[in-house]
Amino acid sequence: MSTRVPQERRRRRPTRSGVLLSEDLIVETALRLIGEHGPEALSVRRLGAALGCDPTALYRYFHGTDDLVLAIADRIIGDAMAGFVPGADWVVSLREMALRVRAGYLAHPRAAAMAAHRVTGRKSEIQAVETGIGLLLSAGFEPAAAARLYLAFIDTVLSHAATDAAFLALPLQQRQADHRAWSNVYQDLDPVAYPALTAVRPALPGMADSSFEEAVDLLLEALAARAPTR
């Protein structure tokens, strides 16, 4: 059966329960499933049940689970970047890209946690890469450097966003436990054995907060310092 997935579908007919399937509907239902019942709620069988169709009908739309995950990831990217237009200042524009991507991930933390590390090779991702590399080219970087630095930038943004999303995807209990670790464990340390931690102790409770913006700003500072033109 080789699971060919044609792009135009003319012959679709309602499922047993009357639903008209479509790639968009499947992706949206998957996002809803994950958002409501956690990442482990996403399985071909459960998705089929939620859609009111036979699980294997999904193979007419996606080559397999992996293909579906990539579609979900691309959807998140697309939603996050919708309506974004780069401005005159490339540093400001890259910063907004970073914040948008992170916001998109945080909007679907559980889906992001499973899709964040993939290369979708789909429409929304291609558009985002085009935009980002274009910004670095406009900053005067050589093509090879622009590609390399964009990769470092976007990987950092995506990795950080994935970490934040993964944290949000944790059960409330474990999240609180992480906060408590910084508040309790790190407050009761032997000053002799841990002089540095003792010196910065008042700042430690904030360690549970995200460092996303600080990291992005540091990275953009370094990029600006390396840029041929301002």
Partner DNA sequence: ACATTGGGTCAACCCTGTTGACGTAAGGCG
Partner DNA sequence: CGCCTTACGTCAACAGGGTTGACCCAATGT
Query: Which residues bind to a copy of itself, rule: CB under 8 A?
Result: 66, 116-121, 126, 129-131, 133-134, 137, 143-144, 146-149, 151-153, 155-156, 158-160, 162-163, 166-167, 170, 173-174, 177-178, 181-182, 185-186, 189, 194-197, 199-200, 202-204, 206-208, 210-212, 214-215, 218-219, 221-223, 225-226
Among 36, 56, 179, 187, binds DNA (CB under 7 A): 56
One DSSP character per residue, 166-216 reads HHHHS-HHHHHHHHHHHHTGGGS--TTT-HHHHHTGGGGGGGGS--HHHHH
Q: How far is the CB of 212 from a copy of itself (least distance, A)?
A: 8
- 177 contact choice in a copy of itself, DNA, none (CB below 5 to 8 Å, kind-dependent): a copy of itself
Nearer to a copy of itself, 52 or 86 (CB): 86
- Main-chain phi, psi angles of 61, to 5 degrees: -115, -30
73's contact among DNA, a copy of itself, none, with CB below 5 to 8 A by partner kind, is none
How far is 25 from 9, CA to CA, in rounded Å? Answer: 14
In the complex with a copy of itself, the residue whose CB is nearer, 19 or 189, is 189
By CB atoms closer than 10 A (0-12, 13-18, 19+), residue 180 is exposed
* Nearest one of 63, 54, 48, 70 to 3, comparing CA atoms: 63
Q: Does 172 bind DNA (CB under 7 A)?
A: no
- CA-atom Rg of the chain in angstroms: 22
Cβ neighbour number for residue 65 with a 10 Å cutoff: 14
Which residues of the chain form contacts with DNA (CB under 7 A)? Answer: 1-3, 6, 9-17, 21, 42-46, 53-57, 59-61, 64-66
